[in-house]
Amino acid sequence: MYTGSCLCGGVAFEIDGELEPIQVCHCQQCRKAQGTALVTNIPVATAQLRWVRGEDLLKGYESTPGKQRVFCRECGSPMFSRLESLPGVVRIRAGLLNEPLATRPAFHFYVDSACNWWAINDDLPQYPAGRS
């Protein structure tokens, strides 16, 4: 069991089960949505996710057709994204989790649009665009 929350603590959740590998995205849209050089996502089946509190504080924004980014409307913490093409799965932001994680990053994607001021200094697979 893993627990997590937004910055203000208004939204809290639990994930039942082991976590998938972390996906590191470098696309410009993710950078703008997070205000960082990259974003670290963990795919989670919605059947494994339980909102402990604050589900009513979640606010979604359709950043592109079929993709929604969800954040805490109180503190603005990015919580997850979801794709219409992938029902039943959300991509939780790894930094929200409270416990030490056994899972590690598996790959980088959208590296062709990565910012020039943050070097990728590991041996993980890199994909120029999305990963199929």
Domains of the chain plus CATH, in order, are 2-127 (2.170.150.70)
CA distance 106 to 20: 9
What pLDDT digit, counting tens, does each position of 5-18 carry?
999 999 999 999 99
**For residue 103, pLDDT beyond 60:** yes
C-alpha torsion sign, points 124, 41, 81, 39: negative
DSSP state letter for 97: B
Number of Cα atoms under 13 Å in the Cβ half of residue 116: 0
Q: What pLDDT shows up at residue 130?
A: 82
**For residue 132, pLDDT beyond 60:** no
Nearest to 42 by CA among 85, 1, 84, 82: 82
Q: What pLDDT shows up at residue 126?
A: 96
Tokens of residue 21, six digits: 């590998």
